Structure 1
Amino acid sequence: WPKVSSLFLGDVAAVGLGEAEHPLLGASAELPDADGMLFTGRLALSTHPWLAGHTILDTVLLPGTAFVELAIRAGDHVGCDYLEELTIEAPLVLPAQGGVQLRLSVGAADGTGRRPLSLHSRLESLPAEEPWTRHATGVLSSGGRPEASFELSAWPPADATEVELDGRYEGLLDIGFAYGPAFQGLRRAWQRGGEVFAEVALDEGTAEEATAFGLHPALLDSALHAIGMGGLGNTGGEGRLPFAWTGVSLYASGASALRVRLTPAGNDGVRLEIADTTGAPVAAVETLGLRPVSAEQLQSARTAYHESLFRLEWTTTAGLADVAGADVPTDGRWAVLGADPFGLGTTAYGDLATLAAAVAAGTAPAPEYVVVSPSAELGEQSARAAHRAAAAALTAVQRWLEEERFGDAPLVVVTHGAVAAEADEPVADLAGAAVWGLLRSAQSENPGRFVLVDTDGREESLRALPAALASDEPQLAIRAGAVSVPRLARVAAEPEGDDARGLDPEGTVLVTGASGSLGGLVARH
């Protein structure tokens, strides 16, 4: 028989990678320059069907316990035996068709042996330029794991009252938490004061896989189904998911059945002490934080997007969330041309020629920023105001490009209400909107020479102007002192429904720009 390359037999060593040795991971790679590790994997309901049993509000999610399992396994590879903290930032949705690519990275150790970790995912159907989604971050450490200070050999616990579990999973289903057979592992429960004791076990089919995991995610997740009994976790009867894990220790691996003691930790947190069926320690969680989950959050996480259709979105970037601070300088570094409707308080000049003459005569320094505010006059008719403002802006642009004295300074065009930077925000200044359209074209032809700023006129927004301009962004919107910038975002793909409307062959269709040959073909079609 012809020999088949190990590359086609799934041997990761054939492509220079290491075995991850875990059901949720495919390969590992050392990062020599970073003194870290990278783990890759692929999750799909076709290859991990038991994950379909974790359906929250009609959405299949990777359980938070799986994030913990992945982090602990990564720690094993780099010699870290303690998961100090793990925060789940975004849910990881598993699609009905296809799979999700995983990237679990562990960074370099600091002086105390602590290593950062992060977990990202991306749908395998998306193009390579599509960004990865970060779902979790955390910290691993070496030598910090505390010794187990508990054992649960006395079982059932003394003086505890057994809790009736009939209808427990039906009640969870009523609030949108639909658990499959692998996750319906809560067998018995007891209550003693504020403590809850739970007995959990995997179903027969899933138990066969338990030895491949440190602590099977479905088994640990089943233990969390006791949260809410007796007010534990302060859930208030609403569905909550784990999102913040602190102080996770694994003492033994491969368990298929557990005894668990759950106690309050802080206001809404829970502490877990986990043992095997003999009472010997298996794991401990110092604090587990939970938070509510809504259908809107999950809808956003599972939304599909068009590959080549984009929309404009105003977003706040790092460092520009709240930059309100220093006033506009009045020492000549800023200059205003014409009227100063926003009250910047800096030196004003009638026009650019006047400013240029003052600089040439030495009576004024060369400004760092030159501000102009073309806008509608009070009571002016909208169409007339748009024409006038656009003509004034065009004249200012042409003269600015002709003037060589200010080659290093940008012309800052400030408007008020000319763009909708927030949802449902009206565009109040139509004349300013026309100016924005003109200046955007000028920016594309002359990079770095013009800056567009739209404000809400509030004092804190004007105070944010100096720091906003220092960001070197060509277009800015300032609302209540917070600065946002325009970015392209993919348009969400609407699911196909039965109510989709088609073209009525007997109706009237307006086709614009159909004067050419292609337009004629479209119109005839």
Structure 2
Amino acid sequence: MRFADALQALHELGARRFVEVGPDAVLTGLVGQVFEAGVAAVAVLRRDQGDARALMSAVGRLYVAGVSVDWSAVLPGGRRVELPTYAFERERYWLDAPAGVGDVAAVGLGATGHPLLGAVVELAGSDRMVFSGRVSLASQGWLADHAVYGTVVVPGAALVELVLRAGDEVGCGRLEELTLQAPLVVPQVGAVRLQVSVGEADAEGRRAVGIHSRPHDPAGAGTGEWTAHADGVLAATDAVLGTYEGPWPPTRAMPVDVSDVYDVLADEGLVYGAVFRGMQAAWRRGDEVFAEVALPEEAADAADAFGLHPALLDAALHAIGLLPRADDEGTRLPFAWSGVSLHAVGARALRVRVAPDGRGGVTVDLFDEAGVPVAQVESLSLREMSREQLAVAASATASESLFGVEWVPAQATSDVVGGTWAVLGDSSLGDGGRVFADVDALVASADELPGVVVLECGPVEGG
């Protein structure tokens, strides 16, 4: 037989691809024993496959190995098509390990169990409390699915979640008001440190609350000024939202096509990834909009760790975009929240009702699929955000700026002014030159104007 010798002879003649034509792949496996690499061996027929399937599989494997194939002859009814221009979807099988905060009790802090706020400390001599955490795309990758003008921004719904969690710790379950001052930008590399501070209770039990951040320094040292992102007031829970008992969808509500809602938002600069694309269906009845939103499968398991998952609340707010608005309105983001109450935790899907509040904002009511109240926003105001405003916030948050100050040594030149020189206002510099109180004195007394005039500029108030 001398099969190995025959293969070696063919290899010396330049053969690198071998096709076995026979009833089974008897010899194909032996090729791999003769040549360890650089050679492809394909069997045309296989005992355990039909002839057509085995033949087409063999042709495909040969094509992948670099053999030229006349596809018009193999598939006479086929035609070439362009590859899709969007990125291919991939499914990950690695388990996502939740970001841990270690044993915060070992350093005198209390653990919160919240994904964004890892620790809490009660300030001595008062009932003030400070909650702290760290936010980064490495630890909270789902935030990358919320981008405004190409910049990853923590949604306002997440800031509301932070404040409600802090309020629950001190017995204040109602967010009376929260005004957003500056967007919280998440850098592509690095992290930001978060602080939610809760003040002392006043006579009515209300507490001031604020959210600040600054770039995170792994060494623990300060890396810049704290940026204020929001301030507001917490209070004890009072009103309870009633159960939704009507039919769903509501009577006389007309369906709204939501198939392109995220394409429209992207055109306005609001680009949402899979986690924030929760809008399922919507209906409109007069000035009211009703919607169904849900967390995608990859985010649903994390719902129990939040009071109300920020991506789910943010998706509920997308229904606001279905309300009538002026044609010249730009990109609008949540600005001021009033009367926010959370009645149930861990929701994975919501029924939403959005309507004007009569004061230029909207009211948002959230129920579960059984009509049980989940949360309520009595009033939410939105404000336009320009690309330039966001760029300023992003530059203030960046942990490592691409810009810096560099001193370049000045090179001496031969263009030195010669002749006489004079000094204005300071006799200590007058060695070798004439001194004059001001320009008028110089002009009035000089027979010939000097070639150089020196003016010393001392420090001024303010730097």
Q: TM-score range by the shorter chain?
A: 0.5 to 0.7
| Pairwise CA distance, 1:81 | 1.3
The Cα offsets for residues 223-275 of structure 1, whole Å up to 9 and x where unpaired, read as 1111132416x585522100110000111111000001101023431101110
| SS across alignment from 2:113 | strand
* Cα distance in 2 for residues equivalent to 1:250 and 1:146: 11
In 2 relative to 1, CA 197–183 (structure 1 residues): closer, same or farther, beyond 3 Å? same
| Pairwise CA distance, 1:308 | 7.9
The two structures have a TM-score, normalised by structure 1, of 0.58
Q: Residue 138 of structure 1: which of 232, 253, 257 is its match?
A: 232
Residue type at the aligned position of 1:276? D
Q: How many percent of aligned residue pairs carry the same amino acid? A: 49
Matched, 1:57 2:149: yes
Alignment-derived partner of residue 204 in structure 2: 112
The Cα offsets for residues 44-101 of structure 1, whole Å up to 9 and x where unpaired, read as 1111111100011000000000000000000010010110001110001101111111
| Pairwise CA distance, 1:176 | 1.1
Where structure 1 has 5 or more consecutive residues not aligned to the other structure, the ranges are 1-7, 312-383, 396-432, 441-451, 453-474, 476-485, 488-525
Query: Which residues in structure 2 correspond to 1:12-27 (within 5 Å)?
Result: 12-27=104-119
| Pairwise CA distance, 1:392 | 9.4
In 2 relative to 1, CA 62–394 (structure 1 residues): closer, same or farther, beyond 3 Å? same
Alignment-derived partner of residue 68 in structure 1: 160
Q: Residue 227 of structure 1: which of 320, 344, 355 is its match?
A: 320
Alignment-derived partner of residue 93 in structure 1: 185
Alignment-derived partner of residue 380 in structure 2: 288
Query: Which residues in structure 2 correspond to 1:203-352 (within 5 Å)?
Result: 203-231=296-324, 236=328, 238-303=330-395, 304=398, 305=401, 309=405
* Cα distance in 2 for residues equivalent to 1:181 and 1:240: 21
Q: Is the 8 A contact 2:217 2:223 kept in 1?
A: no
| Pairwise CA distance, 1:150 | 5.0
Q: How many residues align?
A: 323
Mark the structure with the bigger radius of gyration.
2
In 2 relative to 1, CA 107–230 (structure 1 residues): closer, same or farther, beyond 3 Å? closer
Q: Residue 78 of structure 1: which of 162, 170, 173 is its match?
A: 170
Q: Residue 185 of structure 1: which of 252, 267, 278 is its match?
A: 278
* Cα distance in 2 for residues equivalent to 1:207 and 1:149: 26
Compare 79-88 and 147-156 and name the one that shifted more. Answer: 147-156
* Cα distance in 2 for residues equivalent to 1:9 and 1:52: 21
* Cα distance in 1 for residues equivalent to 2:370 and 2:428: 81
| Pairwise CA distance, 1:33 | 2.1
The Cα offsets for residues 434-459 of structure 1, whole Å up to 9 and x where unpaired, read as 57x23x1xxxxxxxxxxx5xxxxxxx
Where structure 2 has 5 or more consecutive residues not aligned to the other structure, the ranges are 1-99, 408-419, 431-453
Alignment-derived partner of residue 326 in structure 1: none
Residue type at the aligned position of 2:261? R
- Structure 1 segments (4+ residues) deviating >2 Å: 234-238, 304-311, 390-395
| Pairwise CA distance, 1:279 | 0.8
* Cα distance in 2 for residues equivalent to 1:83 and 1:11: 30
Q: Is the 8 A contact 1:56 1:178 kept in 2?
A: yes
The RMSD of aligned alpha carbons is: 2.8
The two structures have a TM-score, normalised by structure 2, of 0.65
* Cα distance in 1 for residues equivalent to 2:167 and 2:291: 28
Matched, 1:44 2:150: no
Alignment-derived partner of residue 102 in structure 1: 194
* Cα distance in 2 for residues equivalent to 1:229 and 1:13: 47
